[in-house]
Structure 1
Amino acid sequence: MRVLSILTVFALVAGTDAFTVPSTKLGAANSVASVPLTQLAASQVAPSSSLKSSSNLSEVPRGGVVSAFKNMDIPLITYFIFWYVGNYYYNISNKLALKAAGGKTGFPMTISSLQMGVGCLYGLFMWVAPDARKRPSITFDDIVAMLPVAFCAMGSHSASVFALSAGAVSFAQIVKSAEPAFAAVLSQFVYKKKISKAKWACLPIVIGGVILASVKELDFAWSALISACIGNLFAAFKGNENKKLMTAPGIKDRLGSVGNQFAVTSLLAFLMSVPIFVIKEGSKWGEFCTLYKTNPIVSFNLVASGLYWYGYNELATMTIKKTSAVTQSVANTAKRVIVIVGVALVLGESLDPIKLLGCSIGIGGVLLYSVIDNFVKSS
């Protein structure tokens, strides 16, 4: 029931690309409250000691609490909340499915591909459901232009799932926190986007924190470390290719919304993943089907993790539209802290002091990397 209730909220939140709180109604409701009471009193009665004491009301800011709520970006706050919640539950359900299916020697690529497939079914449903989401009117050339993003999305997700199957969730998340280092190298040397010296100075802190966190990692595995690094590389490529796609003339208008962009990208990523899992684990497909039918831990958590994966990623994509890159990076950093600590407590993973120290240094370095340019410019 807990999963169904959360997914229902995902459908309500992610199903619409944006919603706003009408300010005219709130403004009308506050119009009377915003008039100082002393003005009304002074026009009808003579001043008295009681009225003089009440004259301080005119110093209270107009609108009060209602005005503060009126100025809040409720959609953005909702996106952030359910992005975090979805990512938290995704990591738990994903790890449970992988463990029940045999870990890294089981079916990580099959589970990774089917997770994207489950998410795509939700995306397709949003196109056919009444009044849910308008279908995009993209061309074949648009699809070709989106293939690099889709391939990188597929590579990032598949590598991350394999890393989670080979080691602890907390360890994979710590390594994933070093993604800015990969993004900086690619931006500087591949996409020719200059990275400031201040940002470069932050990268040794990030990498040092990851190394320190790995020293006493009880579930350390080279396969998990290498897979997480490959996931970082694909994620860095995906970020840069996504920016190129968003600036491509006409594609944004034909897609119609951020939700449609993510849906099409996910669908293409899923189709690309099918040949890979067939080649790698296709010979064990019958064994997986039997496991899926007989083991409810695998079947339930596979479907749940697919829906969580799609929901939180779509909400994260929506936050990009409403915030800056710096805000996105800081929010992503905070998300990893919650996931590392929360999932470790739920799944009983190690939280050695050295590991926590390295995690703190690495994630703190990521946070500094995100905001350092703003500090340098203001100084």
Structure 2
Amino acid sequence: MESRVLSRATAFAPLPYQRKPSHRENGAVSFVSARPIGAVSEGGNLIWGRQLRPALLLEASPIKREILKPCLAAASSPAQGDSAGDAKVAPIGFFDKYPFILTGFFFFMWYFLNVIFNIMNKKIYNYFPYPYFVSVVHLGVGVVYCLISWAVGLPKRAPIDANLLKLLIPVAVCHALGHVTSNVSFAAVAVSFTHTIKALEPFFNASASQFVLGQSIPLSLWLSLAPVVIGVSMASLTELSFNWLGFISAMISNISFTYRSIYSKKAMTDLDSTNLYAYISIIALFVCIPPALILEGPQLIKYGFNDAIAKVGLVKFVTDLFWVGLFYHLYNQLATNTLERVAPLTHAVGNVLKRVFVIGFSIVIFGNKISTQTGIGTAIAIAGVAIYSYLKAKIEEEKRQGKAA
């Protein structure tokens, strides 16, 4: 097809009314029934009414911008053909096409950071057994991280009002309580044992979903949780590091994090996950400071800090606290981002699978000795989680197919 190129200030007709030039006169091209909409800036070329530089579209044009969008999009592509109107649809992003890959990456980073945190955290408790103060440090480092991120605009701070604050306070209180009791358990017993007890979290989560949120949990899911309960019970009976403080603290942490997960999901309707966790950390920090000062403050001032510095030195003591706080914040941020992508029960199951990695690494790193019954009980609990995960995925898939039908 023959085409004509017009340069500089050439008038052109609206796209729906443009026609092919019917005649030539002294090298100029005219349009039949042409209706000018203004001039194109210098250097703007037109090929049969298609503008090659969409940024030069005049503001004075009476034609709606939507009419020109297809042609502008087509013109912006150097590989586009010469025929007008054959605009291409923008390609779908890789992660939009395969969202499970991005979700899997979130889970992987959540697991990886959590393993590092647990190892560093336990090493600190070996020479500085003050879980309330360490909990405050975890949250304090995270709050500083959030404030710096907001200051540079990564991410941009979301505004908060009284109504949103009312939603976040219960989440933050549950987060603070669960965090402190987890650290009390970590300081009192082996890391592997604490995570074995915390493998019961799906059971508490399912109970809260049905009896608090009113969601119906199928009987098959309840039955799949039975091996988890039995396995944890077996492991607890013969755990060499067992003590009631560690056991009860881990159970309280289970309940606290269950309610945190549920309330967080509700709060996400008004706030993105990154800002959500930032506000939760700030509120939780204020919740954790008073008990730390009351329960551990006198001991810390009297001999706690001096003993730790004498054992490892000031520099290592400070850097250990900083890094463990940073890893704590990052793994929880990833956990919150993951929660935004999945349902609370699925998140709880992923949380249990994460404990497999933590238990395994902690046994290798710290050389914890476990009895045969503890090993069998842990394996039964993990098997129960695997069955639960399969049934949960199958039920969700059936629901999606039902809605599609």
- Give the structure 2 partner of residue 218 of structure 1: 240
What letter corresponds to residue 278 of structure 2 in structure 1?
A
> Could you give the per-residue CA deviations for residues 283-324 of structure 1, whole angstroms, max 9, x where no partner exists?
223133434544345433322211111101111211223345
The reply to whether residue 94 of structure 1 matches residue 121 of structure 2 is yes
Alpha-carbon spacing, 1:305–1:215, altered in 2? closer, same or farther (3 Å)? same
2:304 aligned residue (288, 291, 314): 288
1:135 aligned residue (141, 157, 171): 157
Q: Following the alignment from structure 1 to structure 2, what is the Cα–Cα distance between the partners of residues 127 and 114?
A: 20
- Give the structure 2 partner of residue 123 of structure 1: 146
TM-score normalized with structure 1 length = 0.73
- SS of aligned partner of 1:133: coil
Q: Following the alignment from structure 2 to structure 1, what is the Cα–Cα distance between the partners of residues 174 and 250?
A: 14
Q: Is the 8 A contact 1:329 1:367 kept in 2?
A: no
TM-fit CA distance, 1:233? 0.7
Q: Is the 8 A contact 2:200 2:228 kept in 1?
A: yes
**Number of aligned residues:** 304
The reply to whether residue 182 of structure 1 matches residue 204 of structure 2 is yes
- Give the structure 2 partner of residue 164 of structure 1: 186
TM-fit CA distance, 1:133? 1.6
> Could you give the per-residue CA deviations for residues 246-304 of structure 1, whole angstroms, max 9, x where no partner exists?
24xxx32xxxx311111110111111100111121122231334345443454333222
Q: Which has the higher contact order (CA 8 A, sep 6+)?
A: 1
- Give the structure 1 partner of residue 85 of structure 2: none
Q: Following the alignment from structure 2 to structure 1, what is the Cα–Cα distance between the partners of residues 354 and 194?
A: 14
TM-score normalized with structure 2 length = 0.69
- Give the structure 2 partner of residue 310 of structure 1: 329
What letter corresponds to residue 273 of structure 1 in structure 2?
C
TM-fit CA distance, 1:192? 2.6
- Give the structure 2 partner of residue 360 of structure 1: 379
1:112 aligned residue (120, 135, 139): 135
- SS of aligned partner of 2:300: helix
Alpha-carbon spacing, 1:141–1:290, altered in 2? closer, same or farther (3 Å)? farther
TM-fit CA distance, 1:97? 0.8
- Give the structure 2 partner of residue 371 of structure 1: 390
Q: What RMSD in Å do the two structures reach over aligned CA positions? A: 2.7
- Give the structure 2 partner of residue 84 of structure 1: 111
User: Which of the pair has more CA radius of gyration?
Assistant: 2
Unaligned runs of 5+ in 2: 1-76, 78-92, 400-405
Q: Following the alignment from structure 2 to structure 1, what is the Cα–Cα distance between the partners of residues 222 and 345?
A: 16
- Quick check: which one's helix share is greater? 1
- Give the structure 1 partner of residue 167 of structure 2: 145
Greater shift in the superposed pair: 325-334 or 166-175: 325-334
Q: Is the 8 A contact 1:326 1:371 kept in 2?
A: no
- Give the structure 1 partner of residue 286 of structure 2: 271
- Give the structure 1 partner of residue 274 of structure 2: 259
Alpha-carbon spacing, 1:271–1:372, altered in 2? closer, same or farther (3 Å)? same
Greater shift in the superposed pair: 366-375 or 267-276: 366-375
Q: Is the 8 A contact 2:127 2:308 kept in 1?
A: no
